[in-house]
Chain A
Amino acid sequence: MGSLSGALNITLSSMLAEEGAIETTSNNIANVNTPGYSRQRPVLEEAPPVLNGNLVFGTGVQLQQVESLRDSILDLRVNQETQQQGSLNSFLNSAQQIQSLFNETNGTGLQSDLTNFFNSLSQLSTNPSDLNLRQAVLTSAQNLASAFNQTSSALTTQQRNVDLSVTQTVSQINTLTQQIAAVNSQVSAATTSNQNPGPFVDQRQQLINQLSNLVDVSEINAGNGSLTLTTSSGAPLVVGGQSFALTTQTDPATALQDIDSQGTNITANITGGELAGQLQIRDQEIPSIQNSLDTLASSLANAVNTQHQAGFDLNGAPGGNFFVPPTGVAGAAASLAVAITDPTKIAASSDGTPGDNGNVNALLDLQNQNIVNGETPMNAYSNLVFQMGNDVQTAQTNQTAGSQVLSQLQNLQGGVSGVDINEESANLIRFQNAYTASAQVATTINTLLQTTIDMVQ
Chain B
Amino acid sequence: MMAIRLNPDLVPDLLAAVQQSQQNMTTATQQLSTGKKVNQLSDDPAAVAQLVENHNQSSQDDQFLTNLSGLQGKFQVADSTMSNVVTVLTRAISLGTEGANGTLSTSDQQAIGAEVQGLLSQMVSLGNTTYQGTYIFAGTAVTTQPFAQDPNTLAVAYNGNSNTTSVQLSNGNSINSGVPGDQLFQNASGSVFGALQDLYNSLESGTGIDTAVTEVQDALNSISTQRVFYGNALNQISMSENFLNQDTVNLSSQENDLVGVDAATAASNLAQAQTAYESQLAATAKVLNLPNLLSFLQ
Contact = CB atoms under 8 A, between A and B. Distances in A.
Interface of A: 96, 99-100, 102-106, 109, 111-112, 114-116, 118-119, 122-123, 125-130, 349, 351, 353-358, 361, 364, 368, 378-379, 381-383, 385-390, 392-393, 396, 407, 410-416, 418-423, 425-426, 429
B59 A115 contact: yes
21 contacts: A104-B55, A105-B36, A105-B40, A119-B63, A122-B63, A123-B63, A126-B71, A127-B70, A129-B142, A130-B134, A353-B161, A355-B140, A382-B50, A388-B41, A388-B45, A389-B44, A393-B45, A410-B7, A414-B9, A419-B8, A421-B293
A105 B171 CA distance: 25
B42 interface: yes
B292 A425 contact: yes
Nearest to A131: B133
Contacts of B132: 127, 130
A126 B59 contact: no
A390 B45 contact: yes
A385 B45 contact: yes
Contacts of A412: 7
Contacts, number: 184
B49 interface: yes
Nearest to B55: A111
Given A102-B41, A357-B165, A383-B49, 14 more contacts: A96-B42, A116-B59, A122-B60, A130-B134, A355-B165, A357-B177, A358-B165, A388-B41, A389-B41, A392-B42, A411-B6, A414-B8, A421-B293, A422-B292
B45 A389 contact: yes
B131 to A, nearest CB: 9
Interface in B54-70: 55-56, 59-60, 62-64, 66-67, 70
A378 B177 contact: no
B59 A382 contact: no
A425 B166 CA distance: 93
B243 to A, nearest CB: 16
Interface residues of B, number: 59
Interface of B: 4-9, 12-13, 16, 34, 36, 38-46, 48-53, 55-56, 59-60, 62-64, 66-67, 70-71, 132-134, 138-143, 161, 163, 165-168, 171, 177, 259, 292-294, 297
Contact of B141 (A102, A111, A353, A364): A353
A103 B134 CA distance: 42
A126 to B, nearest CB: 5
A385 B140 contact: no
Contacts of B53: 378-379, 382
B7 A105 contact: no
A337 B51 CA distance: 27
A329 to B, nearest CB: 22
A385 B63 contact: no
A453 to B, nearest CB: 40
A415 B48 contact: no
Contacts of B12: 407, 410
Contacts of A118: 60
A416 B48 CA distance: 47
Contacts of B9: 414, 418
B49 A385 contact: yes
A364 B171 CA distance: 11
Nearest to A378: B56
B54 to A, nearest CB: 9
